[in-house]
């Protein structure tokens, strides 16, 4: 089974992905893939530099994520340009990794895709698992984790689909507002029900 794992920023999706990995499930992580496709010398990084200027590159040739992040979080048109460059490259690499795992005999693969719904990638997976969180918990976690002001944290939260919309498109939802033990219990119950573990 191909499971799409998603959630919103600071929902605890990465924590759930870690739990799934500990249960022996292979993970294709969109965030990791997004870094791989913009490594120095890649075609994708070259196209980004052409569109956003050479000053979004660090001296060592790596992408200056903070600088690019500042540009795209406040300018939707520029975010669209970046997404139009990144998404095809990320999709191709994720499919390559997924197919390699299946060819190697894996029965189940988790595709960890933060923007599964925003990018309309539901067709990539057979089941969708959404990690949900109350907005006040999400805001607090994001401000603490990324040392952001309330305004900047809210800008990042509101750049994504509301988690309530994601819940409607899910086959199962994990509510990650409490302790980790409760999150893990929910995960194991869902995976047992789906006959994955």
11 is in an annotated binding site: yes
44 is in an annotated binding site: no
* Token pair in block for residue 46: 């070259």
d(CA 112, CA 32) in angstroms, rounded, equals 10
183 is in an annotated binding site: no
119 is in an annotated binding site: no
d(CA 137, CA 163) in angstroms, rounded, equals 13
* Token pair in block for residue 60: 């060592």
* Whether 169 contacts 122, CB under 8 Å: yes
12 is in an annotated binding site: yes
Q: What is the 3-state secondary structure (H, E, C) of 119-147?
A: CCCHHHCCEEEEEECCHHHHHHHHHHHHC
10 is in an annotated binding site: yes
Alpha helices in the chain (DSSP H): 13-22, 30-36, 43-52, 65-74, 76-103, 135-146, 150-158, 163-168, 180-193
DSSP string, 23-50: TT--EEEHHHHHHHTTSTT-HHHHHHHH
Annotated binding site: 10-15
Annotated binding site for ATP: 10-15
């Amino acid at each position: 089974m191909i499971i799409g794992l998603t959630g919103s920023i600071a929902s605890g999706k990465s924590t759930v992905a870690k739990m799934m990995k500990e249960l022996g499930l292979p993970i294709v992580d969109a965030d990791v893939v997004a870094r791989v496709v913009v490594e120095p010398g890649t075609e994708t990084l070259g196209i980004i530099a052409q569109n956003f200027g050479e000053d979004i590159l660090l001296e060592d040739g790596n992408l200056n994520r903070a600088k690019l992040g500042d540009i795209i979080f406040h300018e939707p048109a520029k975010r669209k340009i970046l997404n139009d460059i990144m998404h095809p490259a990320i999709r191709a690499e994720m499919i390559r990794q997924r197919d390699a795992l299946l060819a190697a005999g894996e029965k189940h693969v988790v595709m960890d895709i933060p923007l599964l719904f925003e990018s309309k990638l539901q067709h990539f997976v057979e089941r969708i698992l959404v990690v949900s969180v109350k907005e006040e918990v999400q805001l607090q976690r994001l401000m603490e984790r990324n040392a952001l002001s309330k305004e900047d944290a809210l800008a990042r939260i509101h750049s994504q689909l509301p988690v309530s919309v994601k819940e409607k498109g899910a086959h199962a939802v994990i509510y990650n507002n409490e302790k980790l033990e409760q999150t893990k219990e929910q995960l194991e119950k869902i995976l047992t029900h789906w006959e994955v573990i």
